[in-house]
Amino acid sequence: MLRTRAGYAGGNKEFPTYYGMGNHTEVISIDYDPRVLSYEDLLEIFWSAHRCDQINRSRQYMNAVFYHDETQKKAAEKSRAALAKRRGLEVSEVQTGILPVGDFTYAEGYHQKYYLTRYREIRAALTEVYKDEKALADSTVATRLNAYLGSGMKKDWKVFLEELPKYGLAKELEESLREAATQVVKSGK
Amino acid sequence: MNFRLLIGGAVAGLALMVGDAPGERLVKLAKADGTVSAKTLPLDAETARIKFNTATFGIG
């Protein structure tokens, strides 16, 4: 997985924002290397991450696959049928939508990489590197830091410490992250 | 890295898209155009060169 970002998709309002998204849905957009990860892999994770028989409460907050092309649409429909069979449901009982993505609009900067907002020093450093909000949202480094720090370094701190030098962060920031990870490990959180 | 962890980090951002936005006003936000803007840091520059596919999900 290369990067993730939050945004609005599936609707037809030209310039959605958080406070005016029209009929768009809040979504996550995931860029992945198809040589490493398949769309089917992501679908499996998606199906396991929500209750597919739960009625969608609104267009804004909706469980849905937003397909980018016919291949993705067919894969999503196939995986939905397989899921329904596994769970003893009729396909029509699966409430999760399968809809065309349309335009994807990046959510506001303060919605991106949310966990990093708890780490002002890191967020500030990345904002200094990437002054453009889109660039920060597109950053693999920010995506990975957000995931590691958001999880509280629970299981992957060793991998994190191995990866950290590859990020190319300023030495002081790198050391501060190393220290933060080490403290979490020591505290046993 | 665990894929679920990465997705979890992103989904948490969505779940928390309920906070107050200081001085919110109507703005034209960026749209995805297939390009990747982040290329300054070495890892970002490296991943920006990789041909990628995109998947999009809503998790209510």
* pLDDT, greater one: B18 or A99: A99
The interface residues of chain B toward chain A in range 26-55, judged by CB-CB distance below 8 A, are 26-32, 36-44, 47-48, 50-55
Tell me how many residue pairs between chain A and chain B have CB atoms under 8 A apart. 226
Looking at beta carbons, which residues of chain B come within 8 Å of A103?
31-32
pLDDT at B16: 54
Query: How many whole angstroms separate alpha carbon A164 and alpha carbon A153?
Result: 13
Q: Which fold has domain A3-106?
A: Peptide Methionine Sulfoxide Reductase; Chain A (3.30.1060)
Q: Do A4 and B5 touch (CB under 8 A)?
A: no
A11-63 pLDDT, tens digit each: 999 999 999 999 999 999 999 999 999 999 999 999 999 999 999 989 999 99
Q: Do residues A136 and A3 make contact, with C-beta atoms less than 8 angstroms apart?
A: no
pTM for this structure?
0.87
Q: Give, as one character, the DSSP assignment of residue A64.
A: E
CB proximity B18 to A under 8 Å = no
Looking at beta carbons, which residues of chain B come within 8 Å of A134?
30, 37
In degrees, rounded to 5, the angle at the alpha carbon of residue B54 between the alpha carbons of residues B50 and B56 is: 155
Which has the minimum average pLDDT: A69-78, A94-103, B24-33?
B24-33
Q: Is the ipTM of this complex over 0.95?
A: no
A86-95 pLDDT, tens digit each: 999 999 999 9
Distance from CA of A20 to the nearest CA of B (A): 8
pLDDT at B19: 46
**Per-residue pLDDT of chain B in tens (60 residues, 90 and over written 9):** 565 666 666 666 565 554 445 555 557 999 999 999 999 999 999 999 999 999 999 998
A105-159 pLDDT, tens digit each: 999 999 999 888 888 888 888 999 998 999 999 999 999 999 988 876 676 888 8
Query: How many whole angstroms separate alpha carbon B54 and alpha carbon A37?
Result: 11
Strands across the sheet containing B53-58:
A97-100, A64-67, B53-58, A25-32, A3-9, A105-106
Distance from CA of B29 to the nearest CA of A (A): 6
Looking at beta carbons, which residues of chain B come within 8 Å of A130?
37-38, 40
Query: How many whole angstroms separate alpha carbon A4 and alpha carbon A28?
Result: 7
A172-188 pLDDT, tens digit each: 889 988 887 887 667 66
Please state the domain extents for chain A. 3-106, 109-187
Query: How many whole angstroms separate alpha carbon A6 and alpha carbon A83?
Result: 26
